[in-house]
Structure formats: C-alpha cells, structure tokens
Structure 1
C-alpha cells in the first residue's frame, strides 16, 4: 500500500486587521516560491477579497498565510478565521451578486474561481473558517488528492514566534515509497496538509509552563465506550502507519520555539515505528533545551490508534456525537519522564483524532465540532483554534481524519 501524498507546511504568518500587510506578504511569498507573476497576482487579489469580506461582515477576524510544498512544487495556503456572525447559506454567499450589505457580492465567488482548493465552514452565531490554496499552473493532478493530517499554530499575543509545533510522517516499515506528488511519501517527518477538491463543503449548524509536572489530564481508566486501553509492549500493525506529533515547548517565545523545533527535527529524522520509541528519540533530542510537553500517535489503515503523551497535550478520538479522551502522563520531555505508557484506541470511519496544546481551553464538546468533521483536517484544526484558542499562550491544533 502506498501512503498518502504529503506536503511540507512552513512560514506561518498571522494578520489581524492588517489587509495591506497581508497582501504584501502574499505577494512576497508568491515571488519567493516561484508561483509565477500571473498566479501571484491572483493570490494577492484573493487575499484582498477575503480581507475586504471579513472587514465588512465579520468580528474578531484573523488571516494565516503559509507556504506548502512537496519535492517539486510550492504553493500558498490562506486560512481566514472569524467569530461571527456566520453565514446562514454558504452556497448562496458564493454566488455572484449576493450581498447582505449592498455591495456587488463578488468576493467569495471570485476567490472560489481563482483558488485550486477552496473550502468554507460557517455556523450562524458562531463564525466562519475559509481556506484557499494556490499552486503554480498548470496544476499537477497529484496535488488535488486529499491527505489526512494538518495542523495550525499561533503565537501568543505580543510574540513573533510560536513555541508550539506539530509534525507528521509515514512509517512504511522500511519499504521505499515514491516522492510526494507521485502518490507516495516524502522523507520521514514531512508535515502533512490536505489538498482536496475545489468544491466547498458547507457546515450550517454548529501561558503554558510545564516546570512543575501537572497531574494527569485524563482518567487512567479506559474510555467509557471501550475505545482506549493500556497496552504493554505495543507493536506496530501490518502495513503503513502515520505518526503524528504535537509539541508545546516550555513557556513561550524563542526558547520555547527552539525546544519545539528540536522535537520536530528529531521526529522527522527518526526511525521509530511506535509512539513510545518516537518519544524516546525526541526525549534525547530535547536534552539541553528547556523541554516540552509532547504527544505522539500512530494511526493505521484499519483505524487502530496507538498513543503516548507526556505533559499538557490534550488528545481525543472525536465523532459527531462523542469525544473519547486519551491519557497524557506527567513529565517534561527532555528532562524528566516516568515510565512511558501506550494506549490503544479505535478511530471510526467518519471520526478524527485531534491533539492540541494548553493554549486552547478544554471547554468544548464533540457537538461543537460535529459539522466540522465533514471538512478537511486544516479546517477542523482552524475551527477548533477559533472556538477554544486563547491569546494568553501559544496555541496549536493538529487533526487526523480518514483512511488512505
């Protein structure tokens, strides 16, 4: 079996009420990665339309720009989050000529036509997440395939760098796979971000410090639904697996970022096949740094999940009606870890695995994300960040959805 197509995600930059800065950053990114003059102009136009749209219609909006790439191609992804009022009818909002404020109403329709991938999730009274992706043309057909993992990070207010990070890689059990964009996996640890159909899906309903080891965030008993249990000597299953890591560097700012990026490097370059083995590799790499909270999961094609967590990383298996929490134990990766433990869970066909740092509140329920589960992982992660994120700490979310 060949793993999912993988794309590297880098150079995240957030903008709040800064339309000119966002347009300038989009133009600079397009030129730097070789998007092409015409395609870069289309990207800048889309960023302008999205900025104008949220300024007119939304509250507490922010925009994220980042570079996506495989071994041969680079593109730009735009994520826009706001806290309402939301759209009652997303398909209608995408039609030209529809406007609630008397304008021409061509903004979202224009973005949809310009983007290679476009998705909108909106809930009246809650808010909206919009995603648009731009690749050089002609478009490589392989870039239309949807991958299974994506994440979002955001620095705390007043900081330029984020001390949180995420990463993912495919474990092929030693088999050689083809290059990204050719139906296979990239070098170990490349972050995975989704690329999906251009047609949008619409939803219409619904300062961390780890010096003192905190109590476990989860009850050690298995989930009431029987979806998680403690394993002894956990071993990888047959076939490919996807390893996903969420990391929260101690505190915030540049030193926290150094710790988390050291964890990402160790995770990406490592050869571990299980979460416990990967945690040991990361632990060794973080000696000499301030340390971090880390959670690592392995997801397999039959829905099996292996999970190992140390510190304040929340993790759960999520469906439209349930949230099955996974246990993280006290400790600081890179400094002090007790005996590692692995838990096994099952990921339902239409469920998602979500991990987030303590830069997000845990006061959210499965029902809050029910309609988001029909959308790609990047939109799920952004929607949860919008719902539960705090600006008093670095924040990160990573989501895995679906089989491959």
Structure 2
C-alpha cells in the first residue's frame, strides 16, 4: 500500500469527559465507516477500537480528547483514531497493553483489544505528561505503509472548523509539505486554508519559493493566510524552506534544534519578496512545522524516543502539550524516508 494521507472531510474532534461522549464517539465511527464503505466486519473492529480508546480516556485520563478522521492510500480508505491525554501516563506501555493489567481495578483489556482489532497502531506515554495513541483500521488486514509526513489540526474551542491546514505531496521527486493559517477563525478562515491546500496540491513541480508565489496568487480572493512550504531533499542533505507570515518551523535530531525563517506578510494580500532558505538535513533529523496556535515551549529532550515514532504521533504529542485552546492549532511532522 502507498503511504497514507489524511482527508479533511469527515474529521471529528471530541473532548472526552464522561460516558456520554463515549457513546457519541461510537455513533460517529459508525457513520464514518458507512460513509467510506469500510465493510461490516471492519466497521465492528473500528467501533471496538474507538470505544476502548474513548473509554480509557474517561476511566484513566486527564484532559482527554479524541480525533476521528478518514485516511486513504490512493486506492482505498480507512479510519484513523487519535486519542491523547495529559496524565497520568504509563511507564511501560507494553505491560499496560497485556490483557489483565489494570491501574484502576478493572479488567485491563482495553489496550490489548486495540492492538488486536486495529490494522496498525502506535503509542507514546511519559509518566506525568500523559499518553497519545494512534490507531488505524483498514478494509483489509494488510499493514499500511506509514507516511513520511503527517499533520493534525484542531479548531479553536467553540468552532466546528479549523482555519489551520496542512498538506503533503510528492511531485516529480520533490517531497514537499505545507502548513497554512487562514486569517482569523471560523468558516472564512477555513475556506482560505482549504484554498491554500488545494492550490498546493495542484501547483506545478517547483522549488518552495515558486510554490509560495503560486499560493499567494491563488489566495487573492480569500481573506489571506500565513503559510510555509518545505521541501525535503535527503539525497542532497538539504531542506528548502519558504514562508510568508507566522508559521514556525524547526529541524531537530533531538540533540540540536534549528529554527527556520519565514518572511513577514499575508499570502493573498501583503507580502515582501518571497525568499527561500536552505538548511542542513542530516539523517535522523525531523522537520516540525506549526501555526501560531502552537507555542514554542515544547522541547524534544522532554520526550525520550519520541522522534523515532510515527509522524502523526509526534504531531499529536506536540499539539497536546503546546497547542492553545484560544486559537486554531496545527502541527505537521516530516522526516526523510529511510534509505
């Protein structure tokens, strides 16, 4: 299977605080499974995965939230469930996933059921910081090839849509990613972000600065956006980056952290000359980009081993700890593909 890609339509965020939310999550999984044609058996597996994740948040977690969204590999669609919380965390995820292990006196079958029913899953937990679990259910049991880049966007509390967006593409050998932040909040900001995403996917194969210029022209009829495009070239050991507005980017290998430069302005309206910058891209390095709805207070040294995990797991962890509720928030993570 090809690398999976997230789809914006059908996304649903839940603040998981009581049993009523667990029921809402289950109903949403049933609707989404029917929408994408997951099939009866796999839809039942998905319901188990989502219900167990939501139930675990109610029973064990602090500040639990859950994202349900479709994913695709170009030929078929699946469903991804992302569950995150801010505590108490687990010192040994493998032990916690064994049937019969429990921290609350209940039958500890939740994590084991998730591992059995999901096509693929990944998890990360730090005591005192909390846990993030990502699980996917596909129509077949074939293990999907996980993406080299993935993002996660969350709307401002009280809004049903996010004005932040992300996209990835490989065109003529160029591995490029986009993060955008539509001006303001709500439907008009979301429309600007979606325009940027669609224009990015349709843009000619070109270096990041030229793609940003294309996006600037495409956004002229919208309220505008901050945005940045990065291109990973592992063969040359270079990351190329061009941005307009307050999109943040860093390249880190866990020990070192290099910030990326964007130019002032608003794509679609006001901007200075777009400049493209080159940065070293060493093996093992990871690119993290985010909107201004995510603070810069996170540090990889607080998360031992996190950079080796799936991109969407890294993105969800950063969003959980550095995202702010008073703004739309988006994080994208990309790494050079393994040789």
Which TM-score band (shorter chain)?
over 0.9
> What 5-or-longer segments of structure 1 have no aligned partner?
173-239
After TM superposition, list the pairs within 5 Å mapping 1:25-64 onto structure 2: 25-64=28-67
Return the structure number with greater helix share. 2
The aligned counterpart of 2:186 is: 253
Deviation at 1:336, TM superposition (A): 1.0
Is it true that 1:399 corresponds to 2:333 in the alignment?
A: yes
The aligned counterpart of 2:265 is: 331
> Quick one: distance in 1 between partners of 2:299 and 2:43?
40
Deviation at 1:371, TM superposition (A): 2.3
Instruction: Check the 8 A contact 1:322/1:366 in 2, yes or no.
Output: no
Instruction: Check the 8 A contact 1:349/1:403 in 2, yes or no.
Output: no
Q: Is the deviation greater in 295-304 or in 102-111? A: 295-304
The aligned counterpart of 2:227 is: 294
Deviation at 1:340, TM superposition (A): 1.1
> Quick one: distance in 2 between partners of 1:255 and 1:369?
36
Cα distance per residue 1:19-73 (max 9 Å; x no partner):
1111100011111111111110111111111111111111000000000113321
> What 5-or-longer segments of structure 2 have no aligned partner?
none
Deviation at 1:12, TM superposition (A): 1.7
Deviation at 1:300, TM superposition (A): 1.4
After TM superposition, list the pairs within 5 Å mapping 1:111-130 onto structure 2: 111-130=114-133
Instruction: Check the 8 A contact 2:5/2:150 in 1, yes or no.
Output: no
Give the alignment's TM-score, normalised by structure 2. Answer: 0.95
The aligned counterpart of 2:245 is: 311
Is it true that 1:152 corresponds to 2:152 in the alignment?
A: yes
The aligned counterpart of 1:78 is: 81
> Quick one: distance in 2 between partners of 1:8 and 1:379?
13
The aligned counterpart of 2:3 is: 5
Is it true that 1:162 corresponds to 2:162 in the alignment?
A: yes
Q: 1:93 aligns with which of 79, 92, 96?
A: 96
Deviation at 1:347, TM superposition (A): 2.1
The aligned counterpart of 1:15 is: 14
> Quick one: distance in 1 between partners of 2:307 and 2:205?
30
Pick 1 or 2: higher relative contact order, CA cutoff 8 A, min separation 6. Answer: 1
> Quick one: distance in 2 between partners of 1:27 and 1:160?
20
The aligned counterpart of 1:195 is: none
Instruction: Check the 8 A contact 1:376/1:401 in 2, yes or no.
Output: no
Q: List structure 1 runs of 4+ shifted beyond 3 angstroms.
A: none
Cα distance per residue 1:223-281 (max 9 Å; x no partner):
xxxxxxxxxxxxxxxxx221100000001100101111111111011113211110011
Give the alignment's TM-score, normalised by structure 1. Answer: 0.80
Deviation at 1:119, TM superposition (A): 0.7
The aligned counterpart of 2:198 is: 265
Instruction: Check the 8 A contact 2:6/2:69 in 1, yes or no.
Output: no
Deviation at 1:151, TM superposition (A): 0.1
SS at match of 1:386: helix
Instruction: Check the 8 A contact 2:93/2:125 in 1, yes or no.
Output: yes
RMSD: 1.4
> Quick one: distance in 2 between partners of 1:26 and 1:6?
19
Instruction: Check the 8 A contact 2:3/2:144 in 1, yes or no.
Output: no
Deviation at 1:6, TM superposition (A): 4.6
Deviation at 1:369, TM superposition (A): 4.1
Instruction: Check the 8 A contact 1:27/1:44 in 2, yes or no.
Output: yes
